A and B are shown apart, each in its own frame.
Chain A
Amino acid sequence: MFDISNYREALSVKDAMTYLKEDPSSMVIAGGTDVLIKVREGKLAGSSLVGIHKIDDLKGICKDANGDIHIGSLVCFTQLEEDEIIKENVDYLGKAGGTMGGPQLRNIATIGGNVCNGVTSADSGSMLVCLNANLKLSSIDGERIMPISDFYMGPGKVDLRAGELLTDIIIMKEDYEGFTGKYIKFSQRRAMDIATIGCSVMLKQKGGVITDFRLGYGVAAPTPVRCPVAEAFAVGKKATEENAKAIGEKALEDVMPRDSWRGSKAFRQQLIKELARKAIEELAGLRGGQDA
C-alpha cells in the first residue's frame, strides 16, 4: 500500500482546481509513474493527492485556426508518438517522447507530468524548450500562460503555484513550421534508462545555409537548457561537416554538465559536442547512417 494521506479523484478540470484550492498542500497525480515512485521512496510519503487520471478533456491534441498545436497535459507518450498532428508537424517531439522509459510506462506517463516533475533528464524537456512551448496553468483564480524555459526553476523545481494545474502545452506555428528536428538520447541502455545526455536540435536551411537553428540539452545543466551562443554562431553558416563540429564545440559555452554516477563531466562534454554534430549532420543530410 502506498503511503498516501488523502486521495481525491477529479473528474473534470474544475474539480481538480477546486480540490487543489481546498487543500493547498495537495499534489497532482497524473499517470503516477513519477509521483508513486517518490511516495514509495519516501520523498513524497504522506502526500495528499488529487488524481487527474480520468479527466478526458486533458487528453486531446489539436491544431487551432492559427496553426498552433495544443497538447493536453494528460497526453501519454504512446499517444504523442502515434498522433497524426504530431507526426505531420513535429514528429521529432513524438520520437523524443518515444525514448522515455519503456512501452508500459509510455502507455501511462504523461507529457504534463514529465514537465511538472521538473527534472533535467526529462526526454520531452529539451525538445519542448527548443520549440518555445508555452504552458497554460489553470487555477480557480484564473489562468496564466508562460514559456517553458521560465517554468523550469531548478532541479525538480518548477513554477507551479499552489492550486495550479498544467492543462495545456502550446506550440506556436512559427516555432515548428519549416523546421526539421532530431532528438538523440544517449543512455547506457536503449530502454528503461535515464539519459546521460539528451540533445535536441531544430534546423532550417536554404541553399545549403543554416537559416534558423535551435539547440537544447537535458542533463547538461540543472534544467533542460537552450544554447544561445551556439545558436547565434550557427545561423548563417554553411551546413557542412566542419561547421556541424564547430557548432557542437561552441555548445560547451552554453552548458554546465556535472559529474554523476551515470557519467563524468568530461564524458558529458564529449557527448554534448558529438550528439549536436551527429544531429546536425543528419538533419542537414550530410550523413546517411542511422543513429540512436
Chain B
Amino acid sequence: MLKQINITLNGVERSVEIDERESLLEVLRDKLYMTSVKHGCGVGECGACAVLIDGVAIDSCIYLATWADGKEIRTVEGFEQDGELNAMQEAFVEEGAVQCGFCIPGFLVSATELKETNKSYTRDEVRKALSGHLCRCTGYQKIVEATEKGLEKE
C-alpha cells in the first residue's frame, strides 16, 4: 500500500514515500525526523502529536499520512525564523511554562495557531483553545500565562 505524497513541511517542499496505513505522526517522526512531534497516547487524547495542517491544529496520531498529500504541514522545528524563536516560544521560556517538556511542542502548536488569528482572547477562551492538550507536570497555570503573554507580544 505504498504511495508517494508531496507536502510542504515547514516551508520546504518534500516528497516522501508512505504506506497508506501509516499515521502522519509516524511519517513525520520516522521518515522526516520531525521529533518535536511526540507520540503520547496514540488515540487523540493528549495532544502531544499536534501539528498545523494548513494552519489548523490536528492530532497527527489519528490522521492518515495519505490525507496530508498536497498540504502544508508545520511543526515546532519550523517555528523559529532566522534564529529567532516565535512569540509563543519566547513567552514559554520567559514564563517558565516548561517542566519535563514532553507536552510542550503540542501546546506551542495550538498557542501558535491562536497567535496567528491576530485576535484577542479571554482567559477562558485561551484555556478552551489549549484544552486538547494534557500536561502532567505544570498544572497548566504557567502554560496559560505564557500563552496570554505570547498573544500580547509585538
CA distance A78 to B64 in the complex (A): 20
Nearest chain B CB to A176's CB is how many angstroms away? Answer: 26
Q: Please determine whether A107 and B134 come into contact, CB atoms closer than 8 angstroms.
A: no
Residues of chain B lying within 8 A (CB to CB) of residue A40 = 42-43
Closest to A190 in B: B131
| B110 partner, pick from A4, A7, A103, beta carbons under 8 A | A103
Chain A interface extent, by class:
20 to 34
| A105 partner, pick from B22, B64, B132, B134, beta carbons under 8 A | B132
Closest to A29 in B: B64
Contact stretch, chosen from B8-16, B52-60, B84-92, B145-153: B52-60
A2 within 8 A of B: yes
Q: Please determine whether B21 and A104 come into contact, CB atoms closer than 8 angstroms.
A: no
A214 within 8 A of B: no
B80 within 8 A of A: no
Q: Please determine whether B20 and A107 come into contact, CB atoms closer than 8 angstroms.
A: no
A274 within 8 A of B: no
CA distance A262 to B131 in the complex (A): 20
Total inter-chain residue pairs, C-beta < 8 Å: 80
Cβ proximity bits A26-50 to B, threshold 8 Å, 1 near / 0 not:
0001001100110010000000000
A228 within 8 A of B: no
Nearest chain A CB to B127's CB is how many angstroms away? Answer: 9
Residues of chain A lying within 8 A (CB to CB) of residue B57 = 103-104, 107
B62 within 8 A of A: yes
CA distance A81 to B134 in the complex (A): 23
CA distance A29 to B66 in the complex (A): 13
Closest to B43 in A: A37
Q: Please determine whether B21 and A107 come into contact, CB atoms closer than 8 angstroms.
A: no
A198 within 8 A of B: no
**Given A1-B21, A32-B64, does the pair A103, B44 have CB atoms closer than 8 Å?**
no
Q: Please determine whether B132 and A104 come into contact, CB atoms closer than 8 angstroms.
A: yes
Nearest chain A CB to B117's CB is how many angstroms away? Answer: 12
8 Å CB interface, A1-28 against B? 1-4, 6-7, 9
CA distance A32 to B135 in the complex (A): 24
Q: Please determine whether B63 and A108 come into contact, CB atoms closer than 8 angstroms.
A: yes
Residues of chain B lying within 8 A (CB to CB) of residue A7 = 1, 20-21, 64, 66
CA distance A6 to B19 in the complex (A): 11
B128 within 8 A of A: yes
CA distance A9 to B1 in the complex (A): 12
A51 within 8 A of B: yes
Q: Please determine whether A36 and B62 come into contact, CB atoms closer than 8 angstroms.
A: yes
A263 within 8 A of B: no
| A37 partner, pick from B44, B47, B50, B133, beta carbons under 8 A | B44
| B44 partner, pick from A2, A51, A105, beta carbons under 8 A | A105
| A102 partner, pick from B1, B43, B63, B132, beta carbons under 8 A | B132
11 pairs from A and B in contact (CB 8 Å cutoff) = A1-B21, A1-B22, A2-B64, A4-B20, A40-B43, A54-B67, A104-B132, A105-B132, A108-B58, A191-B128, A191-B131
Nearest 3 A-B pairs (CB), nearest first? Answer: A102-B132, A191-B131, A7-B20
Interface residues of A (CB under 8 A from B): 1-4, 6-7, 9, 29, 32-33, 36-37, 40, 51, 53-54, 78, 101-105, 107-108, 190-192
Given known contacts A1-B22, A51-B66, what 4 new A-B pairs fall within 8 Å (CB)?
A: A32-B63, A37-B44, A108-B59, A191-B131
Interface residues of B (CB under 8 A from A): 1, 19-23, 26, 42-45, 47, 50, 56-59, 62-64, 66-67, 110, 128-134
